[in-house]
Amino acid sequence: MNQISQTLDDLVSRFSAAVSAASDERELDAARVAFLGRSGEITVIRRGIGALPSAERPTAGKIINDVVATMEEQLIREAQRIQLRAFDAELATSIDVTFPAPASRLGTLHPIRTMTSTICTYFERLGFAVVLGPEIEPDYYTFDALNIPADHPAREGFDSFFITDSLLLRPHTSPMQIRTMEQHQPPIAILAPGTCYRRDAVDARHLFQFHQVEGLLVAEGIHMGHLKGVLTGLCRELFGPQQNVRFRPSFFPFTEPSAEVDTTCPKCKGETTTCNMCGGSGWIELGGAGMVHPNVLREMKYDTDVVSGWAFGFGIERLALTRYEIDDIRRFYENDPDFSRQLR
Ligand code: FA5
């Protein structure tokens, strides 16, 4: 009997060492089979009961059963330990579905769209109505009605993409002057933003597809001072008071007198002679403007003794280049969301 007890003590301590050293379910099961399996050590000890005096056999059987029960409890604890460790390892390498999702990246308006609506807001405050028109125009609206007859050399400067002999992608938004005057009598105050197309070589300040905003004011007593005041106000609003803006005499067949409006080059600030944005002049052109030519008003059957008007056409990309101090007009169309996000 004593010998069985000693053998069991030794067995329990070896079993305990084996199961607590098991690192996975396979090793644990091997220990179970070796000690508690059908041919395991416990079975061998049980067989030894038969050699004991019959009075000792029940006690010996109970001792063995108690030891087996304790071993099985330990086996369950160790199995739980191994499962928990496997679960932790899996968690460490898998996706944590309870982790808060990263914020999704929201898009923004394109900077040219933002610039267009800023310009519209300025003019709406002054009482101008915003109008939109077609991008494919007959040459009558693009040239003839704007005092540019078929053989006039000024047509070349606005040369564009022709759809037919007399239909073309508009090279400027000035046809909207004609479309508005055809349908309305003075007083007229409109703003017409939109896309334009020209056969221009692309460089740091030119695109073949770009945007203009046209302004037209026709009423009694309108003069060049109003034009200068309104356009200077727009530049102050867009660029702030420190930005230089100049009005330079120019020529357009549909305005007389005519001017071009320039601003300090947003790239070199007028500080180099080799700038690819301004060609070293220190200025870039924002747009053209002037008093509506009497021939245009007469074509619209307006009485030029009673009404006068001014018009302008600014490049929206050029305004945006200046406002955001961008070094190349092509950046607006590279579709870089990080670029657009900065220009709100
Ligand atoms: C005109 O288009 C006239 N219709 C403007 C006008 C309207 C004058 C009303 C008088 C009265 P111009 O060709 O200069 O003018 O173009 C006006 C502006 O459009 C330019 O100053 C520039 O800002 C922009 N622009 C012209 N061509 C391009 C181009 N290829 N890429 C980007 N912007 C351009």
Which pLDDT tens digit goes with each residue over 8-45? Answer: 899 999 999 999 999 999 999 999 999 999 999 999 89
Answer whether 218's CB lies under 8 Å from 187's CB: yes
- Whether residue 212 has its Cβ less than 6 Å from ligand 1: yes
The stretch 226-232 carries a mean pLDDT of 97
For residues 200 and 202, give the distance between their C-alpha atoms in angstroms, rounded to a whole number. Answer: 6
Task: Write out the H or E segment, with its range, that includes residue 48.
Answer: helix 41-48
Out of 210, 258, 260, give the residue to mutate to test ligand 1, the one with the largest number of ligand atoms within 8 Å of its CB: 210
DSSP 162: B
* pTM reported for the whole predicted model: 0.74
For residues 110 and 75, give the distance between their C-alpha atoms in angstroms, rounded to a whole number. Answer: 67
- Whether residue 142 has its Cβ less than 6 Å from ligand 1: no
Which structure tokens are listed for 262? 């320039």
DSSP 171: S
- Whether residue 198 has its Cβ less than 6 Å from ligand 1: yes
Measure 156 CA to ligand 1 centroid, in angstroms.
13
C-alpha distances (whole Å) from 55 to each of 60, 316, 342 are 10, 111, 95
Say how many C-beta atoms besides its own lie within 10 A of residue 290's C-beta. Answer: 21
Would the pLDDT of 7 be above 90? no
For residues 129 and 135, give the distance between their C-alpha atoms in angstroms, rounded to a whole number. Answer: 19
Coil vs helix vs strand at 35? helix
Answer whether 224's CB lies under 8 Å from 310's CB: yes
Would the pLDDT of 344 be above 80? no
Measure 296 CA to ligand 1 centroid, in angstroms.
19
Measure 125 CA to ligand 1 centroid, in angstroms.
24
Measure 283 CA to ligand 1 centroid, in angstroms.
15
136-154 confidence digits (pLDDT tens) = 999 999 999 999 999 888 8
CATH node for 111-342: 3.30.930.10
Q: Which of 15-19, 180-184, 339-343 has the lowest mean pLDDT?
A: 339-343
44-99 confidence digits (pLDDT tens) = 898 888 888 888 889 989 999 999 999 999 999 999 999 999 888 887 888 778 88
